[in-house]
Amino acid sequence: MLLVIIFLVVIIGWLIWKYWTLAVGAGYDPTPMHRVYKMLHLGQVSSSDIVYDLGSGDGRIVIAAARRHGARAVGIEIDPFRYLFATFAVLFAGLRRKVTIKYGSMYGQDISQATVVTLFLYQPTNNKLKEKLQKELSPGTRIVTYMWTFDGWYHTKHLLEDEIYLYIIGEHESGDH
């Protein structure tokens, strides 16, 4: 009986840890690396870019942006364990001069320096972010989403088979959908 209770506590604890961030935007579900590379390619990330990953999890997108494309990158993560994991991953990758991981809610962070924003959140979260993105990002800023789109916005390009969508601030009201 004690073993069953311990097992249930562990499972429930793991589920809470994995999914508590649903309340603030998305549960933890890492973007597959082959899709990370495609997201960065579709966003035409280069060494002149500043990539912001909102809900950056383990830091894989910002690390890949810096390592493969030479971009500066900022990850924003609200989960303290994933924030620490990503911070250590950046240090171990030798990218601390290129990549910053910020702890906190993406809603409370200034993202106005971004030239590219990456997202793997949920549909309601993307829609909630629309006003912030329009208000803070400069025209021409690229937004690359994995799986989820923005209601009422038209994507400029997409990789339909990979569910990756590119939006450009100032162009999302026209174009292909």
Predicted confidence at residue 25, as pLDDT, reads: 58
Alpha-carbon gap, residue 86 to 73, rounded angstroms:
12
- pTM of the entire structure? 0.86
Tokens of 74: 């900022």
The pLDDT of residue 173 = 62
CB within 8 A of 12, min separation 6: which ones? none
The pLDDT score that the predictor gives to residue 26 is 62
pLDDT of res. 177: 44
Give the pLDDT confidence score for residue 65 in this predicted structure.
98
Owner of token pair 């840890």: 17
Name the burial class of residue 24, with classes exposed (0-12), middle (13-18) and buried (19+) by CB atoms within 10 angstroms of its CB: middle
111-114 contacts at long range (C-beta below 8 A, 24 or more positions apart): 111/52, 111/54, 111/76, 111/136, 111/137, 112/136, 112/137, 112/138, 113/50, 113/52, 113/74, 114/50, 114/51, 114/52, 114/74, 114/141
CATH class of the domain at 2-168: alpha beta
Q: What is the pLDDT of residue 27?
A: 65
Q: Could you state, in order of their start, the residue ranges of all structural domains in the chain? A: 2-168
Phi, psi of 133 (to 5 degrees): -60, -45
- In contact, 96 and 90? CB cutoff 8 Å: yes
What tens-digit pLDDT sequence spans the chain (177 residues)? 877 788 777 787 666 666 655 555 566 778 999 999 999 999 999 999 999 999 999 999 999 999 999 999 999 999 888 999 999 999 999 999 999 999 999 999 999 999 999 999 889 999 999 999 999 999 999 999 999 999 999 999 999 999 999 999 998 665 444
Q: Which amino acid is at 79?
A: D
